A and B are shown apart, each in its own frame.
Chain A
Amino acid sequence: MTETTTAALSTGALTGDRSRFEIFSYDDDITRKFVLATILWGFVGMLVGFIIALQLPFHQANLGPYLTFGRLRPLHTNAVIFAFAGNAIFAAIYYSTQRLCKARMFSDLMSRVHFWGWQAIIVSAAITLPMGITTSKEYAELEWPIDIAIAVVWVIFAVNFFGTLARRREKHMYVALWFYIATIVTVAVLHIGNSLAFPISLTKSYPIYKGVQDALVQWWYGHNAVAFFLTTPFLGLMYYFLPKAAERPVFSYRLSIVHFWSLVFLYIWAGPHHLQYTAVPEWAATLGMVFSVMLRMPRWGGMINGLFTLRGAWHKLRDSVVLKMFVIGITFYGMSTFEGPMLSVKSVNALSHYTDWTIGHVHAGAMGWNGFMTFGMIYWLVPRLWGRELWSPRLANIHFWTGTIGMLLYVMAMYTSGITQGLMWRAFDDAGRLLYPDFMETVVQIKPMYWVRLIGGTMYLTGITMLMYNVWRTIRLAPKNLPDPAVAVPRRVATPAAELATS
């Protein structure tokens, strides 16, 4: 379609007979905003990660009431999930939806309200969490006024997105859009369902759920935040940007249908696997485990569809740092979605739960899958959005290697520490007494691994500073005026039949 448009523009078809064409432009300014916010918050979120990683082996790094591990850990998770990954998926959605729909976003104003509203929410999180204003529910720590703001901004985003779908000029919705739809609907349901609370004051509330109920609602939310904030939108991102970067069509249309519906249907059941052997009813935890294991199939469907898209194009990895990052990202998606179901199996969970193994697992997902998919997308987008070649592909390549090695160090340190501590907790001597009755022994044992993790995390953080520098240098050379790209499409929308004939 881009080719025909360009051809139409260049051959003067438009000047010849304007009435046959419809001319409009894409809003790329909003994508640029989200890209810059992604980079900035990515740095901040990972910097906080660095600080809390230091605080574990070096307690002196806990400063005053505001900067202790207990208050900063939620800031780290929220910043990485909702600020870094959040802005990244918005950048992906705003860029690709307009192109897939052949339409500008429904409302420029709504796009801006979404952008600035989201940044304001992040800033308020960065202020309130160190102040100790928290609900204590993981990944939903923000108090009720911010929760309401999140719901409002999300609804504005949804209206803007569905409005764009309604005004699209391309009848067929590409698979990336399916994943965006699932994201927008489900995150709204999860966020509202889990955040229902009774306020005491502006800064304090109690959830309406109690005990076992609260635990189940929380992990229905927590698990599916991973599913619908960190998985489905990134699969949509993969389906759009990977074929673009590889210049190859998606491997299998059929597989994308099967894995989309099974993923969306199965994921929601798996929440209670976070509560194995706790006081929740046995059947709920078992159901969670069974569905987690079943989920391996659709998740690997996504991985296979991604990696096989590169068939015949693997040689391009030599020169394309974007593709290298996507391949690492998708591979880590495959690895962590293999590991996740394994950890949900009761006998494995008995060992892994409460240990650093879980921390290793989520970082394989967040650093490997979310991080590298985001970096790949940014390196692909920046030259297109700012109309300049990337300042240094070589620096991007160094980022790739620094990040990959850092991430591997991080993850392996956490596996070692988790399994070591898990085994020590359950060790008995010949007389049937605990071999390590003093909890402290197991802490001292894994402290060296905390230092290794810090080194790995520092490397990953160094990687993102290279990204920042590279993007800054690129933008500095960019033209001051960046007009929105104009597009022309024939007035009559292609009929599905005509479309199928060409596909």
Chain B
Amino acid sequence: MFNHLLKANGRHRLIEGWPLVFTVLTTLAILVGTVVEFAPMFLVQGQVEPIAGVEPWTPLELAGRDIYIREGCNNCHSQMVRPFRDELERYGPYSRAGETVYETPFLWGSKRTGPDLARVGVKYPHLWHVRHMEDPRSTSPNSIMPSYGWLLTNDLDTASLPRKLSALRRLGIPYTDAQIANAIIDAETQAATIASEVEDQGGPEGLQNREIIAMVAYLQSLDVPEGLATELAGTAAGGGAP
């Protein structure tokens, strides 16, 4: 059968003279794999339940996340702990699908020039992050990370937050009307709290309108969600060393 198809004047020779047929067949060939890979995913997606404690980002965290994206942090830092013993030791419990249900875009990354950040939220005080962004060498000798001093001087843009939240709601992220309406005030309140905590820890004053505070809020939110923590505490062998 294949012989008939492939020989010098076989059947394949025919379609080589018909661009339209050839193009349709090529398109079908690429669509088979696409459909098989995606159809189940789009059906299954509804069944990936958010883990308890996984909430949409607060407005300030969202602003921080957009700065994280702007600076391209994901080019060097992953946010996806794999289920290996060394990663559990180093970073914490491995990442679950149910933790990322509100992530658009996903920020799992593909390269660890620096460490994974999926569990960085509980590790350091706010001030550590401020100092680390200002000069990574001051907190981590030998670090090769660039300094992000401008985060401490740039004004934080909160004006776009209501628009961002309502866009995200359209994409299926459950923000309420109240959250959207109060986005700016919420962000400012949370920023003032974090900024005063930074001061209490001996850090610089007057950071509450600065981008660095949003970045700190976002990084500190990268934590083991409550539901997962409870589950892991319940099952000692749950694969989640601290």
**In the complex, what's the smallest C-beta–C-beta distance from A265 to chain B, in angstroms?**
4
Q: For residue B9, which residues in chain A have a CB less than 8 angstroms away from its CB?
A: 500
CB–CB A73/B72 < 8 A: yes
Q: For residue A216, which residues in chain B have a CB less than 8 angstroms away from its CB?
A: 37-38, 41
5 A–B contacts from the bound complex (CB under 8 Å): A62-B146, A133-B70, A134-B70, A172-B13, A215-B100
CB–CB B97/A440 < 8 A: no
Complex Cα–Cα for A425 and B86 (A) = 7
The number of residues on chain A lying at the interface, defined by a beta carbon within 8 Å of a beta carbon of chain B, is 95
Q: For residue B148, which residues in chain A have a CB less than 8 angstroms away from its CB?
A: 68
CB–CB A264/B150 < 8 A: no
Q: For residue B36, which residues in chain A have a CB less than 8 angstroms away from its CB?
A: 269, 287
Given contacts A185-B27, A257-B12, A425-B86, contact A211 B72 (CB under 8 A): no
CB–CB A269/B37 < 8 A: yes
CB–CB A207/B105 < 8 A: yes
Partner of B70, one of A132, A253, A267: A132
CB–CB B145/A138 < 8 A: no
The number of residues on chain B lying at the interface, defined by a beta carbon within 8 Å of a beta carbon of chain A, is 89
CB–CB A447/B105 < 8 A: no
Given contacts A279-B96, A440-B142, contact A136 B23 (CB under 8 A): no
Q: For residue B78, which residues in chain A have a CB less than 8 angstroms away from its CB?
A: 354
CB–CB B82/A68 < 8 A: no
Given contacts A56-B144, A210-B172, A440-B141, contact A220 B90 (CB under 8 A): no
Given contacts A200-B163, A253-B8, contact A136 B107 (CB under 8 A): yes
Complex Cα–Cα for A207 and B170 (A) = 11
CB–CB A211/B48 < 8 A: yes
Given contacts A138-B110, A434-B86, contact A198 B26 (CB under 8 A): no
Complex Cα–Cα for A266 and B48 (A) = 28
Q: For residue A64, which residues in chain B have a CB less than 8 angstroms away from its CB?
A: 150
* Chain A residue at smallest Cβ distance from B109: A354
CB–CB B75/A284 < 8 A: no
Complex Cα–Cα for A65 and B67 (A) = 12
**In the complex, what's the smallest C-beta–C-beta distance from A468 to chain B, in angstroms?**
29
**In the complex, what's the smallest C-beta–C-beta distance from A107 to chain B, in angstroms?**
17
| Segment touching B, from A148-156, A270-278, A385-393, A455-463 | A270-278
Q: For residue B176, which residues in chain A have a CB less than 8 angstroms away from its CB?
A: none
* Chain A residue at smallest Cβ distance from B77: A70
Q: For residue A281, which residues in chain B have a CB less than 8 angstroms away from its CB?
A: 40-41, 44, 97
Complex Cα–Cα for A162 and B29 (A) = 19
Q: For residue B97, which residues in chain A have a CB less than 8 angstroms away from its CB?
A: 211-212, 279-281
CB–CB A211/B101 < 8 A: yes
CB–CB B72/A496 < 8 A: no
Is B202 an interface residue when CB atoms closer than 8 A count as contact?
no
* Chain A residue at smallest Cβ distance from B154: A65
Complex Cα–Cα for A250 and B72 (A) = 45
Q: For residue A324, which residues in chain B have a CB less than 8 angstroms away from its CB?
A: none
**Within residues 415 to 453 of chain A, which ones have a CB less than 8 A from any CB in chain B?**
425-428, 433-434, 437, 439-440, 443-444, 447
